[in-house]
Amino acid sequence: MEFDLIDAIRARVAIARDDVALGIGDDAALTGIAPGQQLVACVDTLVAGVHFPRDTAPEDIGWKSLAVNLSDLAAMGAVPTWALLALTLPEADALFVESFAAGFSALARAHEVALIGGDTTQGPLSITVTALGMVPTGEALTRAGARVDDAVFVTGTLGDAAGALRLHQEAGSRGHGTEVQRPSTTTLSSRLNRPEPRIAAGLALRGIANACIDISDGLLADLGHVCTASGVGAELEVETLPISPALAAAFDPAACRELALAGGDDYELCFTVARAREAEVQAALARAGCHATRIGRIVAGSGVRVLGVHGSEVVMPQAGWEHFSR
Ligand code: ADP
Ligand code: MG
């Protein structure tokens, strides 16, 4: 079974790169690395029913399994180059594999990422993608460089994917799997199923941002990682959080805020930059076709505080928030 499936994947994700000396087919792949570059490597697993709803379309699973990894490379300021795909399937389902590969390939092509190997095994549906990329030596963005008084920015909008997941779960529990989708619901669903890794933004931020992370587990959690790694704290102004029109149409303001702060799967970049360089950031991002919003600042101390309009701390109703378990 295995070989037909591997051929099906190979046929659909055939992206040629000059730096691949030996791709799929041997025991391991061989690639070249340009002088003056560091190899950037990351891996993420998606388990059905844990990291995506079981009824997610195979194309979307393929796209997302690569997207979550390219998002990690984006956060490092890396150019993605190659990927490896470990696929665990309940059965040798050629239709699933073809659709999965089509979704994977659509994103791989968009970023010229070559699939150079993988593994195919039988078991509960789970996908592990290793993504590799390059960054000029010493120029990678990390979590550890935030400084007191830096401005905190986030690309795009927050909470859309978590909003889509909540609507999906509510529809499921009402037994309305086939109900008519409103335009805002479709927009939110595409944010959940087809996240766009912010590669161009990550490249634009090299040499400008002091620290950067991609938001996969929610803004509060991920900005918290930056704070821990950098030995600082952060203050967020809740009124400045970028909320999309689609999210605002589907949820009340309090729910939007909660989804933006604590919902997962955003795959936006959160970064910090010296205040004197804020204008430079906006100009560099605009050239890269991206947008970022200033949402707070780095302070001395530790942890992330959320401030309301008058500067008073907002207590988050975290206890009532049901995160899609991961
Ligand atoms: P081995 O037993 O030596 O690990 P495999 O039979 O697992 O070899 O794989 C044969 C070739 O196919 C290898 O080059 C491997 O990288 C590639 N391959 C296997 N599964 C996948 C997959 N899901 N996606 C891409 N390449 C794969
Ligand atoms: Mg193998």
Q: Could you read off the pLDDT of 257-276 as tens digits, one per residue?
A: 999 999 999 999 999 999 99
Query: What is the pLDDT, as a whole number, of residue 251?
Result: 96
Amino acid at 72: D
Amino acid at 284: A
* Ligand 2: centre distance to CA 56 (Å): 26
- The response to whether residue 239 sits with its C-beta less than 6 Å from ligand 1 reads no
pTM for the predicted model, two decimal places = 0.93
Angle at 181 between CA 54 and CA 247, to 5 degrees: 90
Query: What is the pLDDT, as a whole number, of residue 309?
Result: 79
SS3 149: coil
Locate CATH 3.90.650.10 in the chain.
151-307
Query: What is the pLDDT, as a whole number, of residue 174?
Result: 78
Residue closest via CA to ligand 1's atom 19 equals 119
State how far the Cα of 18 lies from the Cα of 20, in Å rounded to an integer: 6
Q: In ligand 1, which atom is closest to the CA atom of 26? A: 14
Query: What is the pLDDT, as a whole number, of residue 200?
Result: 98
Query: What is the pLDDT, as a whole number, of residue 319?
Result: 34
Q: Which CATH class is domain 151-307?
A: alpha beta
CATH hierarchy code of domain 2-136: 3.30.1330.10
Q: In ligand 1, which atom is closest to the CA atom of 27? A: 3
Q: In ligand 1, which atom is closest to the CA atom of 115? A: 25
Query: What is the pLDDT, as a whole number, of residue 178?
Result: 53
Locate CATH 3.30.1330.10 in the chain.
2-136
State how far the Cα of 314 lies from the Cα of 305, in Å rounded to an integer: 8
Residue closest via CA to ligand 1's atom 3 equals 27
State how far the Cα of 218 lies from the Cα of 260, in Å rounded to an integer: 7
In which residue ranges of the chain is pLDDT below 70? 1-3, 176-181, 315-326
Model pLDDT for residues 164-215, shown as the tens digit of each residue: 999 999 988 877 555 556 778 899 999 999 999 999 999 999 999 999 999 9
Which ligand is closest to the CA of 88, given by its number? 1
